[in-house]
Structure 1
Amino acid sequence: MNTHVSRAMRQLVANRDWLTVYQLPPYAPELNPVEAVWSHLKRSLANLAKHGIDQLNAMVKTRLKRMQYRTSLIEGFLAKTGLDLTPPQPKPL
């Protein structure tokens, strides 16, 4: 059962006026900014020799931390999706 479209999830969403949900296609990596993060990370690790899982783990953590502080990079990953990230206007009372 897909919990994202289950009756329980629809009810949870319906009970929260402040929540806006957009259904995306089941497989759409181009709409997921995380895919760009992983792609960027993998490219940065491609030609490095790792001497064990601990070293690889440290390298991944370091590179993710660097990305975290490059807001323009993160904004680029979001922009690449082409999605409108403007919050919806509040519903009239």
Structure 2
Amino acid sequence: MRYAQGGGLTAERREFRARLRLQAVEQFARGETNAVIARELRVSVRSVQRWRKSWRSDGARALGSKGPASRPRLSPAQFRQLEAELARGPAAHGWADRRWTLERIQTVIARRFHVTYTVQGVRKMMRRHGWSYAAPAPKAAERKAGGWVRADGGRDGRPARAPCPPGGE
């Protein structure tokens, strides 16, 4: 899985990888070959070659963890602002119906914060902040579209409406 698809390393996994690289540094200092180091650490020879090159040019500190590959693009304060925008409803943003879609949320984020997200990124962000998809009851489908709701029911006790992916989840 690639980073853009939600992959990447957890903090524990980053720490584990950093420890591997530091073990490799000890073995570089002892003069062991790349193949031996790769076999002992269970990594590719190419990784060991890259690590050795970095170690030669910048020392052991070059092989430490650099932290997460990215950070959330919207801060907690910005996400609260986004929720306020969602509470205003789609009509306030120029859409005729009452239905939020992930694409519409993506557009609001781009307009309001000048930040781009993929549709999948919007979905993951909403889930991360406690939103979930709620499909309408079959008989109510004509009256009310399904959508995303806050798990806590929103500030006023009513479900807060948010994006509804085409065709459900």
- Structures share a fold, TM > 0.5? no
Structure richer in strand, relative to its length? 2
TM-score normalised per structure 2: 0.23
Larger Rg: 1 or 2?
Answer: 2
